[in-house]
Amino acid sequence: MDIQKLNGFERIYQAECFPNEVKSMFGKNVDEINRYMKWLFTWLSVLDSEGMGALNLEQFEHLKGTDNPNLYALRHPRSKINERYIYIYADNECAVLLTAFKEKSTQDYRLAIIRAENIAKQLEDE
């Protein structure tokens, strides 16, 4: 699995599957896509400039109790759809977006973490 640098950012990358996962969260609702993409890119800019310092903000969290201790999430705390974006740090400097999902239940979160761990492992193996 490849990673690609996200346009407009210095230290943000995405796994090749990430864009399709984001699209699948929103379906064809263009207004919803645009609103949430604006929010996402605002906070990715913060992540790009602050790096691990962004973890001091409520939108960012370290995911504890996972098989991969290097998983982090970007969340929209007051979102109606409760979307989440799981990422890792490469060399403690660059963030790599792994997966995106809507959290409707704790099961959704568990499945997304498993998916993110698998993607991270594929990236490490290459």
CATH number of the domain residue 95 falls in: 3.30.2310.20
Q: Which domain holds residue 109?
A: 3-125
61, 66, 69, 75 alpha-carbon torsion, rounded to 10°:
-20
pLDDT at 40 over 90: yes
- The answer to whether 86 touches 102, Cβ cutoff 8 Å, is no
pLDDT recorded at residue 81: 83
The number of domains in the chain is 1
Q: How high does pLDDT run on average in the chain?
A: 91
Q: Using CB atoms within 10 A of its CB, is residue 88 exposed (0-12), middle (13-18) or buried (19+)? A: buried
The residue-averaged pLDDT of 56-72 equals 91
Residue length of the chain: 126
- Strand segments (E) across the chain: 3-5, 12-15, 60-62, 71-75, 83-90, 94-102
